[in-house]
Amino acid sequence: MTRAAGGPGERPLLLRGGRLLDPSTGLDSTGDLLVSGGEIAEAGGTIEAPETAEILDVSGLVVAPGLVDLHVHFREPGGEHKETIRSGAAAAVAGGFTTVWTMPNTDPPIDDPAAVGFVRAEGERAEGARVMPIAAASIGRRGEQMTEVGELVLAGAVAVSDDGSPIWHAGLLRRLLEYTQTFGIPVLQHSEVRDLAGSGMMNEGRVSTALGLRGQPNAAEAAMVARDIQLAALTGGHLHVCHVSTREAVEQLRMARRRGLPVTSEVTPHHLALTDAEVRGYRTEAKVNPPLRTGEDREAVREALVDGVIDVIATDHAPHHYEEKEREFDDAPFGAVGLETALGVAITELVGPGLMSLAGVIERMACAPARIMGLEGGTLEGGSPADIVVFDPDERWTVEPDTFLSRSRNTPFAGRELTGRVRRTLVGGRIRFEREA
Amino acid sequence: MTADERPGAGLGKDLVGLEGLTGEQIVAILDTAEPFKEISERRIKKVPVLRGKTIVNLFFEPSTRTRISFEFAEKRLSADTVNISASGSSVQKGETLVDTARNLEAMRIDMVVMRHGSAGAARFLAERIPSNVINAGDGQHEHPTQALLDLLTLRDRFGRLEGLKVCIVGDIVHSRVARSNIWGLLAVGAEVAVCGPKTLIPLGIEELGVEVFGRVEEAIAWCDALYVLRLQLERMQAGFIPSLREYNRVFGVSSERLAAADEDLVVLHPGPMNRGVEIDSDVADGPRSVILPQVTNGVAIRMAVLYLLAGGRPEMAEAAKRGEG
């Protein structure tokens, strides 16, 4: 949906009369925002529209920095029936995301420079959100030998991770946290002690006991986080802990923050919103890894997000074909899509009950991810790339997976009423997504 | 407690588990089984209750006792039955459970009795086909007809279930029999405890409303009925217990351990037994054992469940049996 306005070499674009909300600069007032040459020219107050400008009335809507998702799975290559880079990038802008970091656990995995280049190129062709590839941390994601981190960065990788599997060998993670410092990129860790998580299908506790499903104890996550924090302390490398789900892991992260260690972390919308009770009825849409935990864990991750111990919300968007989820619980794959519901879930679950302000949500979904990873964007400051989301913070809508732009429908939020919906998404000044009310 | 007199005791289309059933519904099933007991004692063991009904016994896991018990129940009620086991079926060729179910449905069947290795499989099937589905064991979730026959056996022996103290001993973590018995016993007002090594007691079991004993001696001193579970050899290989010998030494139910117990204490076992592991032969074959009555009751209970899901009324079972229903 590209228009000849806003981008480089195109007419300027004026967003008129929106609520400009940018926690990175403390901006929160009604006013205009001018986009020119793919950048934000000016934000705030009344702006005289240049003669050639296209004017867009956004009164009643919030204009904020585009959302940044540090954790998505776009399945290409190898799982194109679930999601392609194109469909994923389209789903991202539909959810207000202007940048997404793609995990490398494709088939084959993204562990060489050519593969990184492919994701980059396909991402650009997609003309959705900016697609930034995370490369595998170890060759074949086998957790044995480090990938050519330098080559991967030169090809366009922004981080390394073996997500889906933990980097199990402490020695390898130590070397990764040291070696990546040359390139200034983080190591993203899926924290799970495999012998404890075992073949657990859900959280271990009262619900798994009643359902007769094998469980993963909280300690499987927390023990790994504790170990990895020590390695970050040892090396000074940037450790980013993916999808934190347990109160015990939060305690570890709180300690790391107190000590000023280079550790950041994320939490998913589903761990902020749901508990393991969601699995009752053997609902495979609620089968995710790490699993949905108890109400106490949910409280702990919410609190940690509010006070900043957890830095960002990341979706862990994990598409699966409906046939793969339409199975016995044991045989269904882990994962839920999240790009197109994340903002609505965050507003509904965090702003609704008064845990966070709308600015707080934008901080955790746009500003903080850009800041902790040193990305451009995540701000409305003049001279920044015009990556912008325009949304109605009060629109109530019902999640209908059939309308997703993602190729997959596997969401635990189907049928839920959410508040807050994306209306326009601009990437580099161009309108990449729009939805009329 | 009066029998639930709604058609099918208000069970609905399926029996996937005892969780969520009321005490009245469970008692109604037990009461319905009473008149059916006698059929198996006749010279000609057949009544026309389910004549013309087609029942598929769909077994994805090996089972001898349960499958045969269902088959006897079905045949003695004059249903037409087909047995499908996982090996040799299209399941081996990669067919999904949904497709298997739809294909059976296309052949116009009335009921499916299913045993499956995955928890939730029975419910999964029940939600997708209009036929009645009876869970004959789904992974580690539930085995409702087993628990019902256990309850019937206990009621036969004690004349009541309310206030009865039952302790389930052994591998609770992996046991669908334990889960169904916990729900069933609690619903009818019994007191329930579990006992076994900590490695085999699931997290959060107390929250279901059961007591936990660490030593079998304590369990024996507490209970009216000791329900001994089968200990599968795989548990030792998977490291849940160090050895079967040690298990027998610490948790095995022996006549020595039972010597001091109340005279009326009975011992149940769902079979098949590992003699010399979880239970000693002199107990299994001794006066406290109700293991064979359990098996006998299994057929009557399954007749009752089949009859009720087919829409029968509990109070009409006696008449139905005579061909008047």
Q: What token pair was written down for B184?
A: 């069933």
Q: How far is CA B3 from the centre of its chain?
A: 21
Q: What gap in Å lies between CA B313 and CA B325, rounded to an integer?
A: 9
Q: Is A222 exposed, middle or buried (0-12, 13-18, 19+ CB in 10 A)?
A: buried
pLDDT class for B258, splitting at 50, 70, 90? very high
Residues of B in contact with A211 (CB under 8 A): 119-120, 141
Q: What gap in Å lies between CA A14 and CA A386, rounded to an integer?
A: 12
Of B151, B192, B166, B119, give the one whose Cα is nearest residue B298.
B151
Q: Say if CB A302 and CB A351 are below 8 A apart.
A: no
Average pLDDT score over residue span B33-57:
93
- Percentages helix, strand, coil for chain A, rounded to the nearest 5? 35, 25, 40
Q: In this predicted structure, what is the pLDDT of residue A42?
A: 96
Q: What is the DSSP letter of A351?
A: I
Q: Which residues contact A3 (CB under 8 A, 6 or more apart)?
A: A54, A430, A431
Q: Fill in the amino acid letter for A32.
A: D
Residue B81 among the catalytic residues: no
Average pLDDT score over residue span A70-99:
98
- CA angle, A219 then A225 then A229, to 5°: 145
| 8 Å CB contact of A282 and B124 | yes
Q: In this predicted structure, what is the pLDDT of residue B91?
A: 60
Identify the active-site residue in A316, A331, A387, A392.
A316
| Residue in A206, A212, A327 closest to B207 by CB | A206
Q: In this predicted structure, what is the pLDDT of residue B4?
A: 65
pLDDT reading at B182 higher than 50: yes
pTM greater than the 0.90 cutoff: yes
Residues of B in contact with A326 (CB under 8 A): 96, 98
Residue B93 among the catalytic residues: yes
Q: What gap in Å lies between CA B44 and CA B310, rounded to an integer?
A: 23
End-to-end CA distance of chain B: 25
Q: In this predicted structure, what is the pLDDT of residue A9?
A: 86
> What is the share, in percent, of chain A residues with pLDDT greater than 70?
99
Q: What gap in Å lies between CA A188 and CA A169, rounded to an integer?
A: 15
Q: What is the pLDDT of residues A4-30, one digit of tens each?
A: 788 888 999 999 999 999 999 999 999
Q: What is the dihedral of CA A71, A76, A81, A83, to 10 degrees?
A: 30
pLDDT reading at A1 higher than 50: no
| Residue in A215, A328, A331 closest to B203 by CB | A215
Residue A34 or residue B314, greater confidence: A34
Q: What gap in Å lies between CA A297 and CA A245, rounded to an integer?
A: 7
pLDDT reading at A2 higher than 50: no
Q: Say if CB A298 and CB A274 are below 8 A apart.
A: yes
pLDDT class for A41, splitting at 50, 70, 90? very high
Q: Is A326 on the interface with B (CB under 8 A)?
A: yes
Of A247, A425, A418, give the one whose Cα is nearest residue A345.
A418
One DSSP character per residue, A135-177 reads: EESBGGG-SSSB--HHHHHHHT--EEE-TTS----HHHHHHHH
Q: Which residues contact B68 (CB under 8 A, 6 or more apart)?
A: none
| Residue in A205, A323, A330 closest to B204 by CB | A205
- The nearest alpha carbon in chain B to A326 belongs to B98
Q: Is B18 on the interface with A (CB under 8 A)?
A: no
Residues of A in contact with B208 (CB under 8 A): 206, 209-210
Q: A411 — phi, psi (to 5°)? A: -125, 140
Q: What is the pLDDT of residues A222-240, one digit of tens each?
A: 999 999 999 999 999 999 9
Q: Chain A to chain B, count of Cβ pairs less than 8 Å apart?
A: 66
One DSSP character per residue, A2-68 reads: --SBSSTTSB-EEEEEEEEEETTTTEEEEEEEEEETTEEEEESS--PPPTT-EEEE-TTSEEEEPEE
What 3-state class would DSSP assign to A192? coil
Q: How long a stretch of residues is chain B? A: 325
Mean pLDDT across chain A: 97
Q: Which residues contact B262 (CB under 8 A, 6 or more apart)?
A: B224
Residue B115 among the catalytic residues: yes
Q: Say if CB A319 and CB A83 are below 8 A apart.
A: yes
| 8 Å CB contact of B207 and A331 | no
Q: What is the pLDDT of residues A300-320, one digit of tens each?
A: 999 999 999 999 999 999 999
- The nearest alpha carbon in chain A to B140 belongs to A212
User: Partners of B28 in the beta sheet?
Assistant: none
Q: In this predicted structure, what is the pLDDT of residue B97?
A: 87
Q: In this predicted structure, what is the pLDDT of residue B234?
A: 81
| 8 Å CB contact of B119 and A327 | no
The CB-side HSE value for B160 (13 A sphere, CA atoms) comes to: 9
Q: Which residues contact B297 (CB under 8 A, 6 or more apart)?
A: B33, B37, B149, B152, B153, B156
Of A43, A198, A305, give the one whose Cα is nearest residue B174.
A198
Q: In this predicted structure, what is the pLDDT of residue B93?
A: 61
Q: What gap in Å lies between CA B269 and CA B256, rounded to an integer?
A: 18
3-state SS record for chain B:
CCCCCCHHHHCCCCECCCCCCCHHHHHHHHHHHHHHHHHHHCCCCCCCCCCCCEEEEEECCCCCHHHHHHHHHHHHCCCEEEEEECCCCHHHHCCCHHHHHHHHHHCCCCEEEEEECCCCHHHHHHCCCCCEEEEEEECCCECHHHHHHHHHHHHHHHCCCCCCEEEEECCCCCCHHHHHHHHHHHHCCCEEEEECCHHHCCCCHHHHCCEEECCHHHHHHHCCEEEECCCCCHHHHCCCCCCHHHHHHHHCECHHHHCCCCCCCEEECCCCCCECCCECHHHHCCCCECHHHHHHHHHHHHHHHHHHHCCCCHHHHHHHHCCCC
Q: What is the pLDDT of residues B51-107, one digit of tens each?
A: 999 999 999 998 999 999 999 999 999 999 999 887 655 565 677 888 888 898 899
User: Partners of A434 in the beta sheet?
Assistant: A424
pLDDT class for B235, splitting at 50, 70, 90? confident
Give residue for tokens 């293991």. Answer: B291
Q: In this predicted structure, what is the pLDDT of residue B315?
A: 86
Q: What token pair was written down for B140?
A: 């580690």
Q: What gap in Å lies between CA A209 and CA A204, rounded to an integer?
A: 7
Average pLDDT score over residue span B257-263:
94
The CB-side HSE value for A117 (13 A sphere, CA atoms) comes to: 6
Q: What gap in Å lies between CA A329 and CA A325, rounded to an integer?
A: 8
Q: Is A330 on the interface with B (CB under 8 A)?
A: yes
Q: What is the pLDDT of residues A184-226, one digit of tens each?
A: 999 999 999 999 998 999 999 999 999 999 999 999 999 999 9
Q: In this predicted structure, what is the pLDDT of residue A3?
A: 54
Identify the active-site residue in B2, B43, B93, B198.
B93
Q: Say if CB A140 and CB A165 are below 8 A apart.
A: no
End-to-end CA distance of chain A: 17
Q: Say if CB A188 and CB A242 are below 8 A apart.
A: yes
Q: What token pair was written down for B282?
A: 């002199």
Q: Is A102 on the interface with B (CB under 8 A)?
A: no
Q: Is B96 on the interface with A (CB under 8 A)?
A: yes
| Residue in B118, B205, B207 closest to A329 by CB | B118
Q: What gap in Å lies between CA A120 and CA A130, rounded to an integer?
A: 9
pLDDT reading at B1 higher than 60: no
Q: What gap in Å lies between CA B207 and CA B196, rounded to an integer?
A: 17
Residues of A in contact with B119 (CB under 8 A): 211-213, 282, 329-330
Other C-beta atoms closer than 10 Å to the C-beta of B238 total 12
Average pLDDT score over residue span A376-380:
96
Q: Say if CB B134 and CB B114 are below 8 A apart.
A: yes
